[in-house]
Chain A
Amino acid sequence: MSDNENNKFSSSQTAAETADKPNEQYSLSDDRRVKVLSPGALVAKRFFRNRLAVTGMVILILMFAFSFIGGLVSPYRQDQLFYRTDVQIKDYAGVVHNEEFRYTVNDPVLFKNIVQAQALKNIMAGSDTFTYNGTSYTIEKIADDVYAVSSGGNVVGLASKELVTSSTRDDVSFAFTEAAFRARAAGEGTFTADGKTYTLGEGDSITDAAGSEVAYISAYIVRPVMPDVFFSRDFKDQLIDAVESGQTSFTYTGEDGVTAEYILSYNATSKSWDIKQEIDTKVFDTYSSPSSEHWLGTDRNGMDMLTRLMYGGRISLIIGFVVVFIESFLGIILGGISGYFGGWVDGLIMRIVDIFYCIPSMPIIIIIGAAMDAANLPSLTRMMYLMLILGLLGWAGVARLVRGQILSLREQEFMTATEACGIRPSRRIFRHLIPNVVPQLIVYMTMGLGSTIIMEATLSFLGLGVRFPFASWGNIINDVNNTYVLTNYWFIWIPAGVLLLVTVLAFNIVGDGLRDAFDPKMKR
């Protein structure tokens, strides 16, 4: 490119002169009538005359704006979650009207399961003593369907169809239960248990000395589905009322002010009522259709799709650039050394290039991706490794290109001229040799950007590339592996795919246009 400087000189000169004097002043044979362009300007001119390439360029600019500025303009963050309220019907409780004997156990050894069964048999048979395993038991009838089983003078357990249920979060003691049953059977209004006095009031409600309810006796058992849920007495009363009057639903407002609708259904096989709660719940706004709020809907995590696409583009483009940078950096240095010095250095480097050419890159990256999966690397580290690996596997092509170019350029006259002029080697390489490789390199890199982006997207699609919480166009489309998404939610994967296609296409078109523009043999 020794003539380059000449051209630049003359073009700047003509530009300065033609600025104030119009062409007409010169004679027809005057050199200054001819507008001289530098090679760079010629390339630009040729490039901008290619309408397709310019379209590609515009698309790329738009894509960069979309990815890098879009993220700033978007009102949402890339990992911002959105919620919607949804009516959820949950199994809430079960109500059973007890028609079988249930046991309240005082002594778990003497009144174990098998004794319970013996007791039941004897209660049914009407006998009041039985012996099991050498121990004798007596059955005492306290009231209808309430029996106390004792052994050696101590009450070991109760068998009853009604139950004493605590109204508070504390369980009731056995002594309390026994005392309550006995008091009711005797028709007494008060009883003493555990050293405290309780009052048995209306509706079999048991209150303590302070007047607040501690327990009640009822044949209905209300059981929560979730173990940590506590039902207030008020709720249970209303629920049992609803069950008894045969309602199918009722509404209840709890102490915390939450109103919920409950649906009752009778389950004939278990002879119980299933209570389902209909409650407004905050859920992630997943897969919502495009709306004015979310132009492209939300994804499977309830994040804004358009914002994800913007940030995804950023990642995809950055990965593309970094990988191509690593590739070209290694490629230029190794290819340059190889081409310029030749000899055994060339032979060695070219064999290494052959080896890298021969390594099947996609399978290797898949293996490494699976390994990174197993190692549970954080997403950011993983992304770094991915870029590094893609770069390391891709430099061989650049090295080959650079070496080939340098080999042919080295023999050309202008290089002999630089040698004859006594220019030092480093200047010869970097000032005269490398600039002549740059055109091919730029074309190669532009095309390489496209293919790297596809590569990254493919890996992310397979789940081996960029990971959540980072978005990349590939891992956004990943969701299409779910057939339901493929079928029903076009807005999840089509936009990302189109962006990917358009970007890579634009890179290829621009690369193509640059190749044509750099080629001086081109007719236009």
Chain B
Amino acid sequence: MRKYILKRLLQSVVILFFVAFIIYALMRCLPTSYIEAMAQQKSMQPGSKSYEEWMQQLTVMYNMDGSIVTGFFRWIGSMLRGEFGDSWKWTVPVVEKFNDTVWLSFVMGLISFILELLIAIPLGIVAATKQYSKADYTISVIALAGISLPTFFFASLLKLVFSVKLGWFDLYGLIGRNYNQLNAWGQFLDKANHLVMPIVTLVVVSMGALMRYTRTNMLEVLNADYIRTARAKGLSEKKVIYHHAFRNTLIPIVTIVGGSLPGLFSGALITETLFAIPGIGYTSYNSMVSGDIPFSMFYLVFIAILTLLGNLLADILYAVVDPRVRIA
């Protein structure tokens, strides 16, 4: 087991190296970079140096002289030394900006993830136990609708109904207009109030997949021989489903849930952008659009690490939860 994990980790490092290189090359190849925009702006000022001179100076200043390959190795070097550089757009150290924003995204992700589990798993089980019933069809259609619902459309609908028509929530942002006049509890409530619509969006859009996954796996388990045996023994249907079937359904579910835990830190890029919630997703969206290489690189590599970690965690959990699986 230890050997397996070690091997996987080594593999992940190699994969990460290439992923980072691809992303870095891509960011460097942008036809108009942040630096060019900056040089343009600076050369416009009265009595300033020419665009070319600024360009030259800024390229050196931002460490962007040299080819993509040397630049990449320089970047890797400073990464390994733990120097992540300063964000160009936010003009603070990358780690600081990251720390400022990631926890909000994590809280948002965690709440919606828990809600998702609480809604999707029971509904998936109900759908499987009553296969081809009205309930099953309804749940299946809801799950598929959730998968098919474009995030931005659903968010717009929510805004129209709850923000414009009912006026319960603000359209955008994390804090209200009179946030600074509120006491600590009031500030907490204000933030919570602003997070309701984003979390609802996240839950509705993402629960469909888990619901279907639960249903499929539960169906598979219900068709297994040991369930027939359990029924043949004369156990009550309740006991068969919740004691024998459900526990076995948990195996793949625990795997997938464990695998998606690292993803909680990655932020919800689209949802956060739609609601202007200053989490990691929204921040990185703005960084990427404005060509802020240090922050975007940090974020993208972070996401890649989370993905790899998630896959590894899922595979390990699979072996841990299911004694039949042996990984070599």
Contact = CB atoms under 8 A, between A and B. Distances in A.
Interface of A: 52, 351, 354-355, 357-360, 362-364, 366-368, 370-371, 374-375, 450, 454, 457-458, 461-462, 474, 477, 480, 483, 486-487, 490, 493, 497, 500-501, 504-505, 507-509, 512, 521, 524
A371 B141 contact: no
Contacts of A355: 15, 18-19, 22
Contacts of B153: 477, 493, 497, 500-501
A375 B31 contact: yes
12 contacts: A52-B137, A355-B15, A355-B18, A362-B269, A364-B23, A364-B26, A370-B30, A458-B150, A483-B171, A493-B156, A497-B150, A497-B153
B147 interface: yes
A449 to B, nearest CB: 11
Contact of B141 (A52, A360, A504): A52
B281 to A, nearest CB: 9
A458 B155 CA distance: 12
Contacts of B11: 351, 354
Contacts, number: 121
A392 to B, nearest CB: 11
Contacts of B137: 52
Going nearest first, the 5 A-B pairs with the smallest beta carbon separation are A497-B153, A504-B148, A374-B32, A505-B148, A360-B303
Contact of B26 (A367, A480, A504): A367
Given A52-B137, A370-B289, A454 B150 contact: yes
A500 B308 CA distance: 32
A31 B180 CA distance: 85
Query: Which of B141, B145, B153, B160 has the largest number of chain A CB atoms within 10 A?
Result: B153
Contacts of A461: 150, 152
B16 A358 contact: yes
Nearest to A450: B148
A363 B299 contact: yes
B255 interface: no
Contacts of B189: none
A31 B310 CA distance: 55
A501 B148 contact: yes
A28 to B, nearest CB: 33
B300 interface: yes
Given A458-B152, A458-B270, A487 B291 contact: no
A487 B16 CA distance: 45
Interface string B126-161: 000000100001001100110111111100110110
Contacts of A507: 148
Interface of B: 11, 14-16, 18-19, 22-23, 26-27, 29-32, 132, 137, 140-141, 144-145, 147-153, 156-157, 159-160, 164, 171, 223, 269-270, 273, 284-285, 288-291, 296, 299-300, 303-304, 307-308
Given A474-B150, A508-B144, 7 more contacts: A360-B304, A366-B269, A368-B26, A454-B148, A493-B153, A500-B153, A501-B148
B29 to A, nearest CB: 8
A315 B276 CA distance: 29
Given A355-B19, A358-B16, A505-B145, A374 B171 contact: no
B34 to A, nearest CB: 11
A509 B144 contact: yes
A351 B15 contact: yes
A457 B140 contact: no
B150 A508 contact: no
A461 B14 CA distance: 35
A363 B284 contact: yes
A351 B14 contact: yes
B182 to A, nearest CB: 25
A362 B290 CA distance: 16
Nearest to B290: A370
